[in-house]
Chains A and B, each alone.
Chain A
């Protein structure tokens, strides 16, 4: 067998392996999206119907309260709750993350490494392990089943991560840039906003996306801490489709699509900020 043929075969093999891997990763997601556009009958059909016979928007009409058959699930409220909770907690986590990340990257203070290690150790605790103590605390404080309660939980889940990520980005920006700006006439605050912040923007955007997605998708804690339409988030709302004897797979899939789409849109918007390497060239590497 010639060398060229060998290389070709190997390349083909690698592509096939890649394809298989991607199938494994994407099929569940695609199946959910597909199911969102199919009638329940077709989803439950045995043997399974692989290629949908017809696609329909009925499921979406149904969950948003249009059309003939409706489900009594307040999707819009859930959507609003999710947006408020994930949005607010992301903004707070980013502000704390920027302040903390900057401090860890730039300043020397007592117990700096211990603090940092502490933050990272906090990340290793599985969130669900905290659900019972948090539940008890929150109920004593009277913030169970409120947006505020969930926002606090998500902020504390996300802050160690945002600090860690943003710290790394500030570390890559040489301190002399801020010093040059200060010599050029800036206050430390101006130097931060005009020089260091724009350069760390990609890191901050990345931290924001991760924080938002964590809050947006979180289910375990939210299902413990929320009860009513006022505070339930979309992932918790999915459970409304399961009743004692039946599960409305079509409605559930449609709602899953509703959950996925904003996350996708956000990622696409922020994607252009995720290009690293902005700091290259300003200083001698």
Chain B
């Protein structure tokens, strides 16, 4: 049983602080994904948990133990590196068994555990190969195998899929998810890819510039972003964000267009407040081409600038009040640039952020 607790953890290189007081509680067997753009401190945070970086301030606990001053080998964690970090001079069997050998386990245990891991990951036929003779996906699996043979308290993944091509990435993503159900263990997973975060996580931790912006389930983070950063980072395409002002109880855009304030947010906005109106592409759809039953809608006529056919849907680029927005057409038909269509906005899915703080008005 081991969860991981971070309490006011900071990291500084000299005077430059890169992680500013992070608090995070990870439950036993939970799959937590740290996600954010490069330089947001997510890898540094992971490496502090692993013991590969010194902790400047605060406390990291694995289970009940404070591990701040323990070297990596005493933390009972496993890590999968971005470049796999397989030992090039050892075959797959020795790569898998290396940790157990160092720990001084008898040969019989070593063999049994290596066989078990190889079986789980489908590596049994590759045990005598060296890493240079493996494909990218196989190397990835060996790296994961090396992590599971030691039965650690937690797995740490540092962008494990970013070196794979798109197709393999989707495949390995599913394998990681399956692995977690087979080998129930606490997982901390770092990625810059919000799709990976959404698909894998029990809980997502969105980070930016060394701060945690939001912690929540994928649904939570997707449906209720606390600020414009999370709104535009999570979800693809990013949420449309349009500057506006609250005038006469309505959202007034820069060109004078007004949209009703969603009823659930009515109490939360002030007259005259500068705001950012946020709405996802899925929630701006031509009439008759939407997906969900919106309870609260408004209509707007827009001109099609560009239509990208994606198969089951078409991504439409248009402008609202001079600002480029992306809309979606489900069950699509052919569109010509310049064509004008009436779109339905699902207001119950819309968001309003304060323009000064960029925080969601719901957050106050």
Contact = CB atoms under 8 A, between A and B. Distances in A.
Interface of A: 174, 176-177, 179-187, 190, 194-195, 198-199, 278-284
B83 interface: yes
Nearest to B162: A284
Could you say which of B82, B87, B88, B102 has the most chain A C-beta atoms within 10 Å of its C-beta? B88
A256 to B, nearest CB: 40
A182 B85 contact: no
A185 B87 contact: no
B102 A180 contact: no
B71 A179 contact: no
Interface stretch (B28-36, B126-134, B177-185, B223-231): B126-134
B85 A281 contact: no
Contacts of B99: 184-185
Given A282-B85, A283-B83, A283-B84, 15 more contacts: A176-B81, A180-B85, A180-B86, A181-B87, A182-B51, A183-B72, A184-B99, A185-B150, A199-B88, A199-B89, A278-B89, A281-B130, A282-B131, A282-B132, A283-B88
Given A179-B72, A184-B98, A184-B102, A284 B83 contact: yes
7 contacts: A180-B146, A182-B51, A184-B146, A186-B73, A281-B132, A283-B83, A283-B84
Interface residues of B, number: 32
Interface of B: 50-52, 71-73, 77-79, 81-89, 98-99, 102-103, 130-134, 136, 139, 146, 150, 163
Contact of A187 (B73, B89, B163): B73
A280 B88 contact: yes
B87 A177 contact: yes
A176 B85 contact: yes
B88 to A, nearest CB: 3
Contacts of B136: 284
Contact of B86 (A185, A190, A282): A282
B52 A182 contact: yes
A280 B132 contact: yes
Contacts of A279: 88
Contact of B150 (A184, A186, A194): A184
Contacts of A190: 102
A190 B103 CA distance: 12
Given A283-B83, A283-B84, A183 B89 contact: no
Contacts of B87: 177, 180-181, 195, 282
Given A184-B102, A282-B131, A284-B163, A179 B89 contact: no
B143 to A, nearest CB: 8
A253 B201 CA distance: 77
Contact of B73 (A182, A278, A283): A182
B267 to A, nearest CB: 51
Nearest to A184: B99
Contact of B88 (A179, A182, A194, A278): A278
B89 A198 contact: yes
Nearest to A280: B132
Contacts of A176: 81-83, 85
A10 B99 CA distance: 58
A179 B131 CA distance: 18
Contacts of A181: 87, 98
Contact of A185 (B81, B83, B84, B103): B103
Nearest to A180: B85
B86 A283 contact: yes
Contacts of A187: 71, 73
Contacts of A179: 50, 52, 72, 79, 81, 85
A281 B72 contact: no
The 8 nearest A-B residue pairs measured at CB: A281-B132, A282-B88, A184-B99, A283-B83, A180-B85, A176-B85, A185-B102, A284-B163
A281 B133 contact: yes
Nearest to B75: A183
A4 to B, nearest CB: 40
A279 B99 CA distance: 20
Nearest to B99: A184
Contacts of B132: 280-282
A192 to B, nearest CB: 13
Contacts of B52: 179, 182-183
Contacts of A278: 88-89
B139 A284 contact: yes
A194 B94 CA distance: 12
A186 B104 CA distance: 11
B50 A282 contact: no
A280 B88 CA distance: 7
B88 A185 contact: no
A172 to B, nearest CB: 11
A243 B237 CA distance: 90
Contact of B83 (A174, A184, A186, A199): A174
A174 B83 CA distance: 9
Contact of B77 (A183, A194, A195): A183
Q: Report which residue of B73, B133, B146 has the largest number of chain A beta carbons within 10 angstroms of its beta carbon.
A: B73
A213 to B, nearest CB: 27
